Amino acid sequence: RNVKKEFTSHALDSHILDYYENPAIKEDVSTLVGDDLASCKDETDESSKEETEPQVLKFRVTCNRAGEKHCFTSNEAARDFGGAVQDYFKWKADMTNFDVEILLNIHDNEVIVGIALTEESLHRRNITHFGPTTLRSTLAYGMLSKPSWGLPIDAVQWDICNLPLRTGSVDIIVTDLPFGKRMGSKKRNWNLYPACLREMSRVCTPTTGRAVLLTQDTKCFTKALSGMRHVWRKVDTVWVNVGGLRAAVYVLIRTPQAFVHPSEQDGE
Ligand SMILES: C[S@@+](CC[C@H](N)C(=O)[O-])C[C@H]1O[C@@H](n2cnc3c(N)ncnc32)[C@H](O)[C@@H]1O
């Protein structure tokens, strides 16, 4: 069986390239083109066969390859592996209407074969709700692990500028602030960020309280923080790439200074 056909440009689907959003990672990703295998099959009287024969499982192979020393491309690996799967299991290769996506991950001399459990790209595998600004699980995990605390998680929805929490009662706040691009606006950030830092300083325990904040609107954040130096001290800044945007994760420590309500400040 001749499965060694030349691959056409559509072998690299855009959604497959989404597996690696970071262009700095030079990896080779290819999906077996179903037609290349399907065209090698005996296609005589296909329609009448479908009516009588039990349904054949359809599959495709996606190969992710990283490493310099391979004498094959990911196209060739996906094609040959797909050919072997087809021969062994008698499954049918189909690029678009497949039941199973087989992942062939080749990294230097290591090969890992898996089955895709989600149609989304791998970095989104643990996400259950896809919003317009959904964080990558890796970045969310990194932010949560910054303070090195594993805590049970509960879900509530509150206004960060008006939290129903007692003053000095919170150990740590981890937040993904609106960048003002797809969520909110840069203009609104000028009010939101100072108000957010002020309320966070109220609820966080002086001296031990911590905050980990992600934003791409660093200009606005820096300005807001400069007005809050008496309650927040910046101890770390980690630069991250969020969908091509240069963003910062700021790690803040609550200073020992007690929170003073703005109305009390006015009376001073
Ligand atoms: C960058 S998005 C966070 C996305 C989230 N990390 C995710 O993965 O889905 C910023 C979020 O802040 C919320 N937000 C804006 N103003 C807020 C406020 N005053 N209080 C609480 N949340 C607010 C927005 O509704 C938005 O969901």
Residue from 120, 130, 135 to probe ligand 1 pocket by mutation (most atoms less than 8 Å from CB): 135
Q: How far is CA 208 from CA 27, 231, 232, in A?
A: 43, 12, 11
The first and second tokens of residue 192, run together, are 């939101």
Helices (H) and strands (E) in the chain, counts: 8, 9
| Closest residue to atom 7 of ligand 1, CA basis | 134
- Quote the CA–CA distance of 176 and 145 in Å, as a whole number: 14
Read off the pLDDT of residues 71-119 as tens digits, 9 standing for 90 and up. 999 999 999 999 999 999 999 999 889 999 999 999 999 999 999 887 7
User: What does the pLDDT read at residue 79?
Assistant: 94
pTM recorded for the entire structure = 0.59
Does residue 199 line the site of ligand 1, with CB under 6 A?
no
Does residue 159 line the site of ligand 1, with CB under 6 A?
yes
Query: What is the overall mean pLDDT for the chain?
Result: 80
Does residue 126 line the site of ligand 1, with CB under 6 A?
no
Residue from 126, 143, 177, 212 to probe ligand 1 pocket by mutation (most atoms less than 8 Å from CB): 177
* Ligand 1 mean position, distance from CA 25 (Å): 29
Read off the pLDDT of residues 110-143 as tens digits, 9 standing for 90 and up. 999 999 887 766 666 666 677 777 887 778 878 8
